[in-house]
Amino acid sequence: MKKSSLAVALPALVLTGLLLSGCGIFRSEKAWQTAKQESPLEIPPGMDTPNASAALVIPPTGSNQPTANGATARIGNNAGTITDGFILADTVDNTYRRVGEALSNGEIGTLKNHDDAAHSYSLSVMASDQPAEKQGFLSRMFGRSNSGSGGPNVAPRQVVVTVNSSGQGSAEVRAQGEAAAVAKVVDSLKSRLGGKG
């Protein structure tokens, strides 16, 4: 009995080994060994290469102009200004009222003043001069709660929150100021008001 099972098992084991090794044992040379360098691409007659002379130009000091979304770069110790926001499916007046209610309790920051005509709020937010890294899933689930104001150079930062129309039946909430403070305000308002974007 033992000899017949060994007679079946041994050839099955050899066949399995050959199948698992693949066809590599039948090839004498690899395809990558015969690869050759192709000639570089040639530009057809009548066409020019794009001008790349301004691709890596370093702007002069002090030329830090805001981009279309309001962001400016950080030069030295001066913090850059950014603008961020989200959309709410509500009227501008209702959204302005709801944002005011969320800001009035003082948990996000200290409300300095508001302009009802311009639908804007000015507040002072305790935040770092650098945005905090967002925690991972496991850290959020099992780690300590992070208020978002930790990090180097925590100080009051000015943020202006405005509410504008964003099409029919929706309003855009925008915050402008230093990056960490804006991130804290936008994240807090979005979670309390249920915004998207």
Q: Which two tokens stand for residue 62?
A: 């002090």
Q: Which residue has the tokens 């040379």?
A: 29
Candidates 186, 187, 166, 165; CA nearest to 174 is 186
pTM: 0.52
Between residues 97 and 141, which one has the greater pLDDT?
97
CA atoms within 13 A on the CB side of 75: 11
* Percentage above 70 pLDDT, the chain: 68
Give the amino acid at 62. Answer: G
Going by C-beta distance under 8 Å and a sequence separation of 6 or more, which residues neighbour residue 154?
126, 127, 128
Candidates 176, 178, 124, 131; CA nearest to 151 is 131
| pLDDT tens-digit map of 123-165 | 988 887 655 566 677 777 776 655 444 556 778 888 999 998 8
pLDDT of residue 26: 61
pLDDT of residue 149: 47
Asked if residue 180 lies in contact with residue 81, where contact means CB atoms within 8 angstroms, the answer is no
